[in-house]
Structure formats: structure tokens, C-alpha cells
Amino acid sequence: MTTTVAGLVPYLGGALAAGGLAVVATRRRELMIRWCVWALGVPLVTAAFWLGPAGIAVLAAVVAVVAVAEYGGLLRLALVDRAVLGAAVVALVLTAWLAPEEVLRVGAVGALAIAGVPLLAGDAEHGLRRLGAGLLGLVWLGVLAGLVPSGALGLVLFVAVSIADIVAYAAGPRFGGPRLSPLSPAKRWSGTLAGAAAGLGTLAVLSSLTWQTAVAVAVGGPLGDLLESMVKRGAGAKDAGRWLAGSGGLLDRIDSLLMALAVLLVLS
């Protein structure tokens, strides 16, 4: 059975309604704020996927610009570094839409442009750090280009990793047990396993459970969360941003999706 965006709408609406009732029952203001953000964001994301590759490309390009701004802020990159990195990631997204056969070539050009900024500036003191940060950002955030050809599967992946994150967040403190990683002391193996089970269940309900999507959600999702935790810890920051009510920054919401998508692209 092929999953379509139209077929996902009833599930998304039902999940939002059920989540709203659960949040009201908890009477926790933080969760209520987060639910309001989801209630606004999910219809916009769904509409973009409904429009097909053009809509997904526009959505991914906007997300890329915001994510690069947050990433550059975390690593204290100069404005020129952020601008070149942002242009490279957006170029990858647009190429995936308009000329997918040229994605690798455009990625290579982007990497050369990123390397050229500190080289041309003759930055012997911070050049290596700027180069490493720029290339990591290109590889990490450039994965957004993979959303463009994904169609409804990209939306399914987003839903599955989001549900896995929520379940892991709730189950970890409740079940306790060994910590997942020093990079994120609050996360527990129990929560990660519970979240993985919920994510796989979501894939099954949405008729998208294959061994590739299962590995992407169960392994890629948690790894993406740890990758962002490593970046934030290195930067001495708790969140990637503060503008998204109750959720920190955009990177805090898409970190699991980015790595899950990367794993799926490699396995597919």
C-alpha cells in the first residue's frame, strides 16, 4: 500500500486532537504551549507536502535558512561563513528539485566555497575551526535536500521520529535505568527503546514499515538527537534558539529527522 499525503491527514488530525486532550489533562503550561506550536506547524508542513516537490523544496529551503542561522549562532560563525553555508544548503535543496542529477556536483561546489572563506581570509588562528564547522553544517543540514524527492514518506518519517521523541521524553524518567550517553544525561536507554517501539508502531499504522525506515527511525532518530546535543554542549548552550515557544529552536525539533533521513537515504 502506498502512503499518500491525503491519506495521512486523518491520522495527523486525530493525533493532534488526542494530543490536545492529553495535554489539557496534564494542566502543564509548557506542554500546552508546545501543543499550540504543533497545531500551527503541522497544517503548514502538511500543506507543503501536499503541493509536491515544489512545496517541499520551498519548505526545506526556509527550514534550511533558519537552521543555518541557529547553527551558526551556536558555533559563533562569522556572518560571511553563515551566508556561504546557507547559500550552499539552499542550493542543494533547489538542485534536488530542479536538477537532481547535479546534487553531488552542487554539494562539491558548496564545500569548496565553504573552504574558500577562511582560506581567502588567511585565517590561521580560527580557519580550521571555521572550515570544520562549515563542512559539518553542509553535510548535516544539506540532508534537507533529501526531503524533496521523498514525497509522503518524508512526512511519515517526520511524524514517526516526532512521536518517538515524545514517548522517549516521557518514558525515560518514568522507567529510569542506564543513561543513553554522557552527551545527554537526561536520556535513558529505557526511554529510547520505548520511543523506538512507538516510532515503529507509527510506521506500521501508516503502512510505511520497512527494514530501512525501521532503522532510520529507531537508530537514526536517537543519533540525530545526540549529534545536536554534542554541538550544543560544545557551544555551552541548552537550546539552539529561543524563538519557538516551548520548543527552543528549529534545530531542536528537526535534529532527529535529519539523521533519520540521512540513514534512510544511505540505506535506500
Identity of residue 84:
V
Interhelix angle 221-235/53-74, rounded to 10 degrees, is: 30
Query: Are the C-beta atoms of 203 and 209 separated by less than 8 Å?
Result: yes
Q: Give the pLDDT confidence score for residue 21 in this predicted structure.
A: 79
Q: Give the pLDDT confidence score for residue 213 in this predicted structure.
A: 95
Beta bridge pairs of residue 255:
none
Q: Give the pLDDT confidence score for residue 246 in this predicted structure.
A: 59
DSSP-assigned letter for residue 150: T
The length of the chain is 268
pTM: 0.89
Identity of residue 168:
A
CA distances to 121, 128, 224, 230, 231 from 183, rounded to whole Å, are: 34, 24, 12, 6, 9
Cell reading at 10: 486523518
Query: Are the C-beta atoms of 181 and 226 separated by less than 8 Å?
Result: yes
Query: Are the C-beta atoms of 171 and 190 separated by less than 8 Å?
Result: yes
Domain ranges of the chain: 54-149
Per-residue pLDDT of the chain (268 residues; tens, 9 = 90+): 567 888 888 888 887 787 777 777 767 677 677 777 778 888 899 999 999 999 999 999 999 999 999 999 999 999 999 999 999 999 999 999 999 999 999 999 999 999 999 999 999 999 999 999 999 999 999 999 999 999 899 999 998 998 888 888 878 777 878 888 888 877 888 889 999 999 999 999 888 999 999 999 999 999 999 999 899 988 888 878 776 665 678 898 899 999 999 999 999 8
